[in-house]
Structure 1
């Protein structure tokens, strides 16, 4: 009987892993896209904005799989402009992992979050298996509020790399368990099953409630919430694609900024992931790719509005890697039309862009390793070097 139970548990785990990664299968190649709807871009004169010298808050956007071609596809589809495009400081990040010219999201995310290169598939550990303390964890140590937002499961590789420490990105239940070892103030994303329907029988949502979190399953439930600890699991696994999930990412980003800025803290750190740009690249689907870029850009616009008024908030927009080897071969900005081509259904090794606005944004120009993004954030937050884990 025990043997049968173990086999069943292993089958459930394997099925869960397969379901979480099935977006990597090329199903429908779609090389053309005409914008279904264009959004307004925040209008401002950067010369009129007087940012403080150093940031109190940092908002890091990661467009998973977003290279320069994906950004330009978004610019074209939105009639020639994006919120991202209006960020005045631009650089490039090299994305190679510790063991591979082409990184995956686990190693790429860990480099961004901790400043440590690691092996593909590894979450929050360095290349030797040692814990890599993340910018989110350093922010907590320094009495800042912290948050994560994602259109994937919140246990997926990129958000996981900011809060978890596991040898495999596929250890979703263990990653969910790592959330319980932190004092993160807010997280919004999919993955409810990894908190509730677990092989070990734990109900992590109840444990979160016992720790003082308000839990919810959609954005509507938290509309009146303006402060306190929040755990919002918006899907049992991953969230739906941009056509079906509505403005979840923009709403989640806006709510996260509101709640974290109201926290009794010394500022905040927030990571927001546009996860499914990557999935469009894996599927060689230009409509999926571009629609997800536009969706994240709307969230970026809301963050820029906050930063302009707050003047103490640094916003960084970058990627963990490029996916698909995308190129934009034809386009028409007047109608938001693009025609793309792809060289692969996987990640590539090319540099990815970094955009920044706010106090310290000038630090992000040039070409540098992805680990430098962590180092720059650590320096700008004025965390003491003697407190950094070696």
Structure 2
């Protein structure tokens, strides 16, 4: 009888442990933080270039869950960055050029507006102006992506806690005469227009903002350095300090511009720089275990191809050298190709498959359960 009781007690303990383990796993599978990295203008070929031209193994190789998104806007088969980012930020299709509005021009709540109400910290980073189409879609509403001063005003009035990029002129040399740096100071921002600080310098600040170029940030090839990866790391440190959860959008903006210019060196150098920022996000996510990292793009630019390099024989006859890569382009605009999505962390399995770009918004809310928070 005693043996039976011992066996039953052991079984009960095992069952309890299993149930407890299920509960723990369920909690871990709900992401507390999200880092969304957007490589503007980047398709599979741009990503592939990192595997040939980066001197170390690209951080893209660290992902296990990979999907594809369809990128068309509400009226056009080929999207632009404004419509593409609005799909991510607001979960709706809209027309090219629109920021944070639906196809009928009505304003739509974005992620920053939704989660700030739930005390989730938010941050925006870009290698363009911080008022450019992609970052703007996460905090602004305007019918035209070119309204940079209007977008800057909405940033100053938003609930964003951290930002870093270019665009200083849209804040302090405005047509309306306002100096939005004063507005940001009144909202408890520590603002720097010269360089990124160490975390220790902003640790006690309520909010932090960096406007480090009059318009767009310099190219990597012109000495920008490790701004993107450093800003991503700094944002993580700053937004995680009160342990309330955070959302960061970091954009490698100029990969797109290399595609528009059909400049392979420009494109690849920016893509490798972006991959370094992916590494910072993944290092944090692997260490903490509660952070979802998503890497994707709004669209592909340039019709970029990695082909055999074209060479000529001594007789002047052209041939393809399959031992060497030649980078070519088919357009100076955007294309409609499907775009890869890479995900790591709690809820990352949700990002496998083929789906519309608006589903990124929905999958973030599902993985975090932010909608259910009081």
Contact 2:112 2:159 in 1 (8 A): no
* Cα contact 2:196–2:231 (8 A) shared by 1: no
Give runs of aligned pairs for residues 126-165 of structure 1, distance below 5 A.
126-165=102-141
CA distance in 1, matches of 2:345, 2:162: 23
Q: Residue 48 of structure 2 corresponds to which residue in structure 1?
A: 72
Residues 185-226 of structure 1 deviation map (CA, whole Å, 9 limit, x = unaligned): 000000000000000111001110011100001334455323
Tell me what 2:300 maps to. Answer: 322
**Equivalent-residue separation in structure 2 for 1:92 and 1:344 (angstroms):** 22
SS of the counterpart of 2:145? coil
Per-residue deviation, 1:380: 1.5
- After the TM superposition, which parts of structure 1 deviate over 2 Å for at least 4 consecutive aligned residues? 218-228, 383-387
Structure 2 residue 329 is the aligned partner of structure 1 residue 352: no
Measured after TM superposition, the shift of residue 86 of structure 1 is 1.4
- Is the contact between residue 77 and residue 338 of structure 1 (CA under 8 Å) also seen in structure 2? no
| 2:59 is equivalent to residue 83 of structure 1 | yes
- Residue 226 (1) aligns with residue 203 (2): yes
Out of 290, 313, 319, the residue aligned to residue 268 of structure 2 is 290
In the TM superposition, residue 242 of structure 1 has moved relative to its aligned partner by: 1.0
Aligned mates of 2:130, 2:211 — CA distance in 1: 8
Q: Structure 1 residue 338: deviation in Å?
A: 3.9
CA contact (8 A) 1:147 1:269 kept: yes
**Equivalent in 207, 216, 225 of residue 246 of structure 1:** 225
Query: Displacement, 1:181?
Result: 2.5
Distance 2:130 2:89 in 1: 15
Relative to the length of structure 2, the TM-score reads 0.86
Aligned mates of 2:64, 2:363 — CA distance in 1: 17
CA shift in 2, pair 1:337/1:360, >3 Å: farther
- Could you tell me which of 228, 246, 261 is aligned with 2:240? 261
> How far, CA to CA, are the matches of 1:254 and 1:383 in structure 2?
23
* Cα distance in 1, alignment partners of residues 161 and 55 from structure 2: 37
2:253 aligns with 275
Larger Rg: 2
Taking structure 1 as reference, are residues 159 and 338 closer, same or farther at Cα in structure 2, changes over 3 Å only?
farther
Kept in 1: contact 2:29–2:346 (CA 8 A):
yes
Cα gap change, 1:80 to 1:251, in 2 (>3 Å)? closer
- Aligned residue pairs total 333
**Structure 1 unaligned residues grouped into runs of 5+:** 1-49
- CA drift of 1:160 comes to 0.4
TM-score (norm 1): 0.82
The question of whether the paired residues in 2 share the 8 Å contact of 1:111 and 1:374 is answered with yes
1:113 shift after superposition? 0.7
5+ residue gaps, structure 2: 1-24, 310-322
Whether contact under 8 Å (2:129, 2:167) holds in the other structure is yes
1:29-80 CA distance string (max 9 Å, x none)? xxxxxxxxxxxxxxxxxxxxx9921100000000000000000011111257
Distance 1:383 1:255 in 2: 23
Instruction: Choose from 217, 225, 228 the match for 2:193.
Output: 217
Partners of 1:337 and 1:78 lie apart in 2 by: 15
1:94 to 58, 67, 70: 70
CA distance in 2, matches of 1:209, 1:80: 41
1:85-136 per-residue CA deviation (whole Å, 9 max, x = no partner) reads: 2111100011000010000000001001111100000000010111111112
CA distance in 2, matches of 1:265, 1:121: 36
Which of 127, 130, 151 matches 1:175? 151
Higher mean displacement: 191-200 or 226-235: 226-235
- 1:117–1:371: 8 Å Cα contact kept in structure 2? yes
1:13 is aligned to none
Q: In the alignment, what sits opposite 2:277?
A: 299
Alpha carbons of 1:130 and 1:273: their partners in 2 closer, same or farther (altered >3 Å)? Answer: same
**Residues 225-280 of structure 1 deviation map (CA, whole Å, 9 limit, x = unaligned):** 23530011010100000122011111111100000010x35200000000000000
